[in-house]
Amino acid sequence: MLNTTTFNKSILFAVCILFSSNIFAQNWDINLLRDINPQQPNSFVWKGMSTTAYPVSAAVPVGLWIDGKIEHNKKTEYKAYTIAGSVIIAAGTTALLKLAFNRVRPYQKYTGVYPYQFEDGMSFPSGHTALAFASATSLSLEYKKWYIVVPAFAWAAGVGYSRLYLGEHYPTDVIAGAVTGAGSAILSRWVSKKIFKK
């Protein structure tokens, strides 16, 4: 069973490290990205993985809600609302953080980074990664079975890695996206428990 207090402390520690004053000045961030990002990022697997973040994050709660309605199962419906809430919180938090940090994409600042495509918008944190980890964490909290948890987090990690492979984000963008997503899932679950007490 997940120890929420320990997990929350871990997230707080990660955020403190991530937002320390020197984090963006460290060379490891861009160097690691260059090591992962090839000159021609044309892998079908990683392109495909990256494009799954938004549709899967929307499809999971919608599918559960439909299943709950068809089966007349209120518990499944509430789980769908919780997972949807985590995605909404992650999307909103990511948008606010992008405005606050206003960090440009790595290929706009450094040479030796080869993006799959030139995207508009700020880099920090990774929205794709945030939504993927919000979905994976929320789904794992609601359905604590290894055959759900392992594939969910493998998919989320794959989305995060794809954003590096495709040259769209720094590693710290992806880490922050994962923390944002996981934190959003925990917050959504806490709120849902308050709302759906019965």
How far from 150 is each of 56, 93, 98, 157, 167, CA to CA, in Å?
A: 16, 25, 29, 11, 26
Q: What is the pLDDT of residues 131-151, one digit of tens each?
A: 999 999 999 999 999 999 999
What are the boundaries of each domain within the chain?
Answer: 51-195
Residue 5 CA from chain centroid, whole number: 21
How much of the chain exceeds pLDDT 70, in percent? Answer: 86
Minimal CA–CA distance to 139: which of 64, 89, 55, 50?
64
CA distance 3 to 93: 24
Q: What is the pLDDT of residue 4?
A: 53
3-state secondary structure of 93: helix
Q: In the predicted model, what is the mean pLDDT of residues 7-11?
A: 52
Tokens of 166: 């495709």
Tokens of 54: 């938004």
